Chains A and B, each alone.
Chain A
Amino acid sequence: MDKIGKQNRIKRILAVRGMGQVITVTIGLIILCIVFSIVNPIFFSGKNIANLLRQIAPILIIGIGQSYVLITGNIDLSIGSVIGMSCMISATMMTKGVNPWAAVFVTFICCLAAGVLNGELVSRCKLPPFIATLGTMTIARGIAQIVNNNYNTGSIGEAAKGFRNFFYYGKTAGIYNAIWITIVLWIVFNFLLSKTRTGRHIYAIGSNVDAARLSGVNVHSTTIKVYVVSAICACTVGLMTCATTGMGTMDAGNGYEMYAVAASVIGGVSTLGGQGILLGTVVGASIWGVLQNGLQFAGAPVAIRNITIGIIVVVSVLLDVVVRTGKHRKKAN
C-alpha cells in the first residue's frame, strides 16, 4: 500500500512540466561541485560557499524575472539596463542626501514604470518583444547615464550603512541578507506562478496565445504583469549592486539579461513559451554561479570558462529538445 503511494508521489512530481530537465541538470550540478572540490578543496570551504551563494543570488533573482517573461513566450532584454538604472537612481539620490529608504521607493517606482512600458509596448502596441525591450534597454541605459550627468557617483556614505547591510552585507540567522532576499522573492514568485490563476494564465499564453485569449484570459494585463515582475527583480538586483559597491556605476548590469536567459534556459525554461518551472531556474543560476566561481579556483583561463559555459547552455537546451522530440515520436508510433 505504502509503496504504491510512494510511487504515485514520484509519478506526480515527474508529471510536472519541465521536471525531467530539472533533474538532469541537478545531477550535472552535483557532478560539477564534486569535480571542483577535488580540483581545489577550498571550493567546498564554508567561506567560499557563503560567497558562492551570494554570487548566485543576483543571477537567480533576474533569472526568476526572465523565466516569467520566457514562459509567456516573450523575452526581456532590458533587465541589465534596468539594473544599471536602479543602481544609478538610488545611488545618485543617496549621494544628494536623500533618505536611503525614500531613494529605494523612488527607484522602485521608476523600475515599475519601465516594466509597465515594456508590457504596454509588447501587448498593446504589438511590437515584437525583442525589438520593444531592445528599445527600453537603450532608454534605461541612457537614463542610468543621465541621472548623474554621465559620471559614476561618489560614495553613498555612512548614512546609507543600514541600506547596504539590508541588501548585501548584513546577516540574519547566520546567512547573508542577499540570500534571504533571494529566498523570499523566490517563494513569493514561485507561489504566484504555480498556485494562482495568474500563474496558469502565464503558462496558457505561452502555450497558445490565441487559445488563451479565446478562453477568456486577459492577455494584455497578464503580459504587463510578467514584465512588471521582471522589472521588480531587476530593480532588486540594481539596489543590491548599489549596496555592494557603495556607489552608482553607469555600466552596472551590463549583459546581465543574457545571464538571466542562460539561467532560465539551463534550468529547462523554454524560449518558445509554456514550459519551465522556477525550481529549474534555481539550478540554472547555480550552475552558472558554480562555473564562474569554480573555474576561478581551478585556475582556468577566462577563455576556457566562456567556452565551457557556452557549451553547457547549448547542450542543456539540446537535451531538452532531443527528449521532447523522442517523446513525440513515441506518441506518434
Chain B
Amino acid sequence: MKRKVLSIVICLCMVFAVACSKDKTTSGSGTTNKEKKSETETSTNTKNQAKSKTSKVYLITMDQMDQHWVNVDAGCRKAVGELSNIDYEWLAPDVKDDAKQIECINNAVAGGANVILLAANGPDAVTSALKEAEAAGVKIIYVDSAAAYPAIQTLATDNEAAGKTAGEEMVKGLKAAGKTEGKIGIVNVNSATASCVAREKGFRSAFEGTSFELLETQYGEGDAAKSKDIAANYITSGCVGLFGANEGSTVGIGIAIQEAGDTVIGVGFDKSDTILELINGGHLLCTMAQNPDVMGYEGMKTAAKAIAGEDTGEANIDTGVTALTKN
C-alpha cells in the first residue's frame, strides 16, 4: 500500500517537474522581450486577416544579455516587419552553455519551427541536435558563427576582409597626416585565435604596394596592460601606426598613444565604452565594429526565401564591418 502511494507521489512529482521545466523554457524567452511578443501578436493578427499560412522562424543565440545579440534580434524584427507570414521568436539560454543551447534547438523544433537562425556556441556540440532538427524538416541558417553541419547559408563577419578594411582606414589616416612611409606595429591576441589571425592577415594585405614597413607581430593575450607595454615599445621604436586585433589589444594601443601624446595613428577592432572614449579623445583613429543587425536582417530575408522555396544565393555572406570614427 505504502509503496503504491509512494510511486504515485513520485509520478506526480515527475509530471510536475516536466511541466515546470517546459513552462520555464518557453516563458523564459517570452518574458525577455514583451515588446517583441506584442509585435508578433500583431503580426499574426494581420496575417489572420490576410488569411494566409504563417511560417515559424526562431532565432537562437548564445545568450540573451550581450548587446550584440540584442542587435541581431533587432535586425530580425525589422525584416519581419517588412515581410508577411512570418511568426518570429527569439530563444536563448540565460548563459552561454552548450547543453542549454541544444535545449533551445529542441524547443524550437517542438514549437513547429520552419527555419532556425542559429549563432552556434561551438562547432561540434550542437551538430546532433541540428541533425534531428533537419530530419524534422527544419531549415537551418547560421548567423554570426557557424557549426560544423551543412546549412542553407552562413551570415557572418569575414574577418580577413574586415582586417583589410582596417588596414585601408589606416593608410587613409596616415596619408591624411602626410605620412607615406614608416613602421607599423601589430598587437594581436595569440597565434591560436583564428578570427584575430584572419584580421591580421587582412590588415597586412592592405599594405601591399605601399612603402610602409610592417613589423613583427607581438602577442598581448588580449590583456590590455600587456598590450599597452608592447604598444609603448612600438612607439619608442618610432612606429607611425599601430593596429589592435581585438578589444584588449585596441585598448592597449589606445592608452599607449594617449600617454605618449604622439601623432601615432591607431586602428582597432571591436566596440566598448573605453574604446569609444579613446576615439572621441582623438587617441585612436577608428575601430572596426561588426554589424549584428545586418546579420539578423539579411538572415530573416534568407529564411523567407527558403520557406518560399526560392533561391537563397551564396552559401557564405559577409555582413561586413563599420569603421567607427570620432563623431
Contacts and interface: CB of A to CB of B under 8 A. Distances in A.
A302 interface: yes
The B interface is mostly helix, strand or loop, or mixed, namely helix
B193 interface: no
A40 B236 contact: no
B228 A245 contact: yes
B236 A249 contact: no
Interface residues of A, number: 33
B217 to A, nearest CB: 7
B252 A297 contact: no
A255 B221 contact: yes
Given A42-B238, A302-B217, A302-B218, A241 B225 contact: yes
B169 interface: no
Contacts of A58: 225
Contacts of A300: 216
A216 interface: no
Interface string B220-239: 01111100111011101110
Contact of B225 (A154, A244, A301): A244
Interface stretch (B114-122, B156-164, B269-277, B295-303): B269-277
Contacts of B229: 51, 55, 292-293
A221 interface: no
Interface string A13-29: 00000000000000000
Contact of A42 (B215, B236, B255): B236
The A interface is mostly helix, strand or loop, or mixed, namely loop
B217 A245 contact: no
A281 to B, nearest CB: 20
- Indicate the member of B65, B216, B236, B273 with the most A CB atoms within 10 Å: B236
Contact of A251 (B215, B237, B248): B248
B212 interface: no
Contacts of A297: 233, 236-237
B236 A47 contact: yes
Contact of B218 (A251, A253, A296): A296
A154 B95 CA distance: 21
A251 B222 contact: yes
B251 interface: yes
Interface string A262-306: 000000000000000000000000000000110011011110000
A249 B217 contact: no
Contacts of A94: none
B274 A155 contact: yes
A254 B221 CA distance: 9
Given A246-B255, A296-B233, A302-B217, A152 B272 contact: yes
B207 interface: no
A169 B260 CA distance: 11
Interface in B184-230: 191, 215-219, 221-225, 228-230
Task: Identify the 7 closest CB pairs spanning chains A and B, nearest first.
Answer: A154-B273, A245-B224, A241-B225, A155-B274, A48-B236, A247-B274, A55-B229
Given A48-B236, A241-B224, A300-B216, 8 more contacts: A42-B237, A51-B232, A154-B273, A154-B274, A245-B255, A252-B223, A252-B224, A296-B216
